[in-house]
Structure formats: structure tokens, C-alpha cells
Amino acid sequence: MLLDFFYTLRAAKLPVSVKEYLTLLEALQKGVVGPNTVADEGDASSGYKIDDFYYLARTALVKDEKHYDKFDRAFAAYFKGVEMIADFTKDIPADWLRKNLEKFLTPEEQAKLQKMGWDELMDTLKKRLEEQNERHEGGNKWIGTGGTSPFGAYGQNPQGVRIGQDKGRNKSAVKVWDQRAYKDYDDTQELGTRNIKVALRRLRKFAREGNELELDLDDTIRSTAANAGYLDIKMVPERHNNVKVLLLMDVGGTMDEHIQRVEELFSAAKTEFKHLEFYYFHNCVYDFMWKNNRRRFAEKFETWDIIRKYNKDYKLIFVGDATMSPYEILQPGGSVEYNNEEPGAEWMQRLTNAFPKFAWINPEPQGVWQYRQSISLIQQLVQQRMYPLTLKGLEEAMRQLTK
């Protein structure tokens, strides 16, 4: 039986009902997915190819794609390391990219490592790809695993191109070879505290608009008295916060460490601001952004179109840790994901010029800002309007936006 799997999904806060669970069991009984590869999980999924069962279970149990990420994590946790489908279409053999060696360097060895400049790094990578024809581990030159070369996975170098590693460890990669999948922030996240909402309420401009749905008590009393005591009810439109907010959120990479706090902020913002528009970017803003991380390359929103669509009444709020290679901000082609024609700094200046009321919210602890060159660069681009994701920081940011 898959009862334990069902409870795992419920524990992951997925809205899975008993009816949906029974639908999954019925589909298995009727052979929607047939026996293919013998599994050894010791439950009702045994005898089925795990990939087929994954898609069947997701189809039967998940009704909204915003829950896909939670489902994936719960599925992987229950089946203990199940291999999910990934599209590796690169020329480098995937076998090279497995983690086989964790090498710890002495201070003397680390002192010998040197950073390459951008052009030198890209030229050297090109030469390595042309010359290399076998697998390497633990070296200091070739593309491999666990070494000190600036190219590969699970090694140590102050700056390089990360190839085939699931996530960053030293936060020093200037390019990432493989396409990565990010997840949308959950705007239904239950807040652990209402203080974030209270902080956001400093950015308020109330107006009455819409249908007349709210009782105007003072006018009702005044009209009733003037009408010789006959009740004369007066209604007014509801009172709403009329502030317009354009929220741009960094997602993926180092931002994975801050998902919960950013989701809380996102949930609070959607509650407090009636006029809220949001988009995602990765590390730095370039020529396009997106609204759905699963379709970020298929449904792009040109940054120029966003600038033209919203007027200067919108308050612009960036949310991101500003932790990246300086090349991503200053260098054409510096993005870790694609070859951007213009540096991120150009787009940052265009956005801040288009929306004079702006602020950057940074979830990284303020104590580390001085040690990150990229944070210093972003601070300059936003005219020092960077605030920590703390209650005090949010209050200061809201005050800045109301000036």
C-alpha cells in the first residue's frame, strides 16, 4: 500500500485528498502504467518503472503546478534518492560530472590558487574542451571533479565555471554550464508572525473605490436625523490601500537559502497591496524577466516592455541577496545562464530611472555585506537604498518609498 507515501505528501503540506489517493490506486489497479522495471521500495509501486509512477502520481495527486516543487521533494524523500528526469543535452559526458572526490586544501595549497580574468577564463575553457578527451579527477588543469581547476564540479578554486554540480558551495562560479530549474515562491505561505505585514503597512495610501459595499455610519446617522427619524442608510466603497508596487524577486542559486523568509514577505505583500505586480530574475536583472519559473524560457517578459507598461506611480522593490560574480553586473555575457548583450548594471540604471521610488531588500545578514564585492556594486547602483530583510530594515525601506 501507498498509505505512507500519502502521509508523506500531507506532511509536506500538499493539499492531497483521500479521493485523489484512491484515484491513484485505481489507476494502478487498471494498469495505467504497466510493469516495466522492478523496484524495491516494498510497496504498491513495486514492479513499475519509477519515472512512469512519478508522472502518474503527480497527475492524480497534484492539481496546481505551483505545488510541483513540494511534490518533487516529498517524492524524492519517500523513495530515498529516486532519480528524477533531467535533460542533459551538453557535449560533456554526464559520467564525468558525478561527485567522486571531496578534496580539502591546506592553506598553502589555497594560497597557490589564482583567479583568472573573464576573457582568460572563457578562452581557457574553450581550449580545454578542444584538447580534453578523457575523464579527470582531482587535477588542477582539466575539466573534472574534486580538483583545483577552475572548470568542473566539487572542487575548490576562487573563481571558475561550474559544470554539473547540483548547487554552489563556495559561491564563486562566474558561469554555470547546466540549465537549472527554479521554483516559484509560494504566495500562500503561512506567516509565522504578522509583524512583516505591520511593517509593510507603513507604505499606505488609502482610497475608496469600487462598488458601495461598506456602511457609512456617520452619514447614515446624519441623513436619518434630517429625515425626521426615518432610517436612511448610506453606503460607500470599501477603503483600500491604493499604493502600486512592482516587486522584482531574485530566485534560484544562493537564494534557495532564503526561500522561507522571502515567501513570508511575498505572502504579506500580496495581502497588503491591492495593486501588486511581480516578476522573477536570477542574480541580476537583464533584458527579460518571467512570472513562472517552469516556463521562464518559454514565457519571457522583455524588461523594456515592463518599463513601458507601468508608470512612475509604481514603487519598485527588488528582493535578492545580490550575491554573484561581479562579471554578472559589469560584463556583457556575464550572466551565468546565457550571453546577455548588455551588462546588468545598464538594466538596473534603466529601472531605477523609470521608477524613482525604489528600494532593494536583501535577505543576507547585513554583517556580510562588506565582504561581497557584488553587494557593494548593487548598493552603488541603487544609491545605497539597500535594506536587510528584518523588521527594522523593512520599516526603513517603507519610509524610503514614501518620501
Are 317 and 257 in contact by the 8 Å Cβ rule? The answer is no
Mark out the alpha helices in 213-258 (DSSP H runs): 217-226
CA–CA distance, 336 with 328 (Å, rounded to integer)? 7
What does the CA dihedral 46, 50, 56, 58 come to, rounded to 10 degrees? 120
What cell numbers appear for 302 in the block? 522583455
> Which is nearest to 25 in space by CA: 48, 10, 74, 41?
48
The string of pLDDT tens digits covering residues 71-127 is 888 888 787 644 433 333 344 444 443 443 344 344 554 444 455 555 555 566 566
Give, rounded to a whole angstrom, the gap between the first and last alpha carbons of the chain. 61
- Residue 152, H or E segment: strand 151-153
Above pLDDT 90, what percent of the chain?
A: 27
The string of pLDDT tens digits covering residues 352-380 is 999 999 999 999 999 899 889 999 999 99
- The predicted pLDDT at position 88 comes to 33
- The predicted pLDDT at position 190 comes to 42
DSSP for 267-310, written as a single string: HHHHHH-SEEEEEEEBSB--SEEBS-GGGTTTS-EEHHHHHHHS
User: Identity (one letter) of the amino acid at 44?
Assistant: A
Are 176 and 152 in contact by the 8 Å Cβ rule? The answer is no
Which domains does the chain carry?
Answer: 3-78 (no CATH), 94-176 (no CATH), 195-203+242-402 (3.40.50), 206-240 (no CATH)
Are 161 and 173 in contact by the 8 Å Cβ rule? The answer is yes
Contacts of 337 (CB under 8 A, 6+ apart): 176, 179, 180, 282
Q: What is the pTM of this model?
A: 0.53
Characterize 217-242 residue by residue with b for buried, 16 or more Cβ atoms within 10 angstroms of its Cβ, and e for exposed: eeeeeeeeeeeeeeeeeeeeeeebbe
Q: pLDDT 10s digit of each residue in the chain, 403 long? A: 578 888 888 888 888 888 888 898 888 888 887 665 434 444 444 445 777 888 889 999 998 877 888 888 888 878 764 443 333 334 444 444 344 334 434 455 444 445 555 555 556 656 665 666 555 555 555 455 555 555 555 555 555 555 555 555 555 554 554 455 566 766 554 444 467 777 777 776 544 455 556 677 888 888 888 888 888 888 777 666 678 999 999 998 889 989 988 988 998 888 888 889 999 999 999 999 999 888 777 899 999 999 999 999 999 999 999 999 898 999 898 888 888 999 999 999 999 999 999 999 999 999 899 889 999 999 999 999 999 998 889 989 999 998 8
CA–CA distance, 88 with 285 (Å, rounded to integer)? 26
Are 205 and 243 in contact by the 8 Å Cβ rule? The answer is yes
Contacts of 189 (CB under 8 A, 6+ apart): 260, 263, 264, 266, 267
